[in-house]
Structures are given as structure tokens and as C-alpha cells.
Amino acid sequence: MDIQCNKLLYKKIKKHGFIRINDGKTQGLIKITRVKVCDRYDWTVNDTCEVDIEYYGTIDDCLCAMGPDREVKPDNPDGGYTYRRRWYSKISRNKCVRRRVSKEIRDRLKYFSVELPWSHLLTVKKVVWNTTDIPQCDF
């Protein structure tokens, strides 16, 4: 893809780049903030794609609902959160997010005619995990 195609794709992603995810282990919202499709010059190899995402939500890891910093347990009677277990590091946290959301991102990019048949062709560069609050958006 040339530069103009990347700009058009960026405009479409800016408007329709929200993905609501709710499977057994991941609950939240993915917002794609940047997309870059890189051409391959060999006809046997597919294009590669780089994305930056913001993630709002929780991930179940080792039977714990994990937020951006710690374990989130909504078990207080006043509706507050109790923080218990922490992530080992930001690297392990972001690796877990990348692994859990890559399939949904590839499925969403198919709508914008970015065909990525294998998961290694998608690279999630930057992960920003804001809060556990899931913002309301109109889809």
C-alpha cells in the first residue's frame, strides 16, 4: 500500500476502529489508534501490518481478573475494588494483551480489506491499557 492508501485507512480506522470483546478470558474494548500496512515486494509473501491499540477492560490470568496494574475484585459491598495480585512486569502484561486481542484485530482489519491470513503478519507495537472502566461508544 502506498502512503495515500495508509491515510485513507487511518481515517476509516479512526471512525470505526472500536472492537468490543467479550469471550471467556477477555472483557473490554479495543480502540485501534494507528495502522500501518507495509508492502512486500515478493509475490509469495503477504503484506504485514503494524497497529497501536488502547485497551479498556480486564483479562483473566491464572483465575484472576486482572486490570492494568493489579487484580480487580468487585467483591466489596459498597461497589469498590480490592487490589491484590500485581502483574510481574509491563512486558508480561503487554504480551498477554497482544496475545489475547490479535485475532479480533485481524478480524476487524478484514473489513478494511487488509487480509492477514497468519498471526505473525500482524504486529501490535504500542499497548496503552488505560483503566478498567469501559467507555460507552455508539457502534
pLDDT in tens, 46-64: 788 899 999 998 888 777 7
Q: Give the model confidence (pLDDT) of 97-135 as tens digits.
A: 899 899 999 998 888 888 888 888 899 999 998 765 555
The closest alpha carbon to 64, from 81, 89, 85, 93, belongs to 85
Closest CA to 117 of 37, 29, 45, 53: 45
Q: In this predicted model, which residue has the larger pLDDT, 51 or 87?
A: 51
Hey, where are the domains in the chain? 3-129
* Predicted structure pTM score: 0.78
Q: Measure the N-to-C terminal CA separation of the chain; round to a whole number of Å.
A: 27
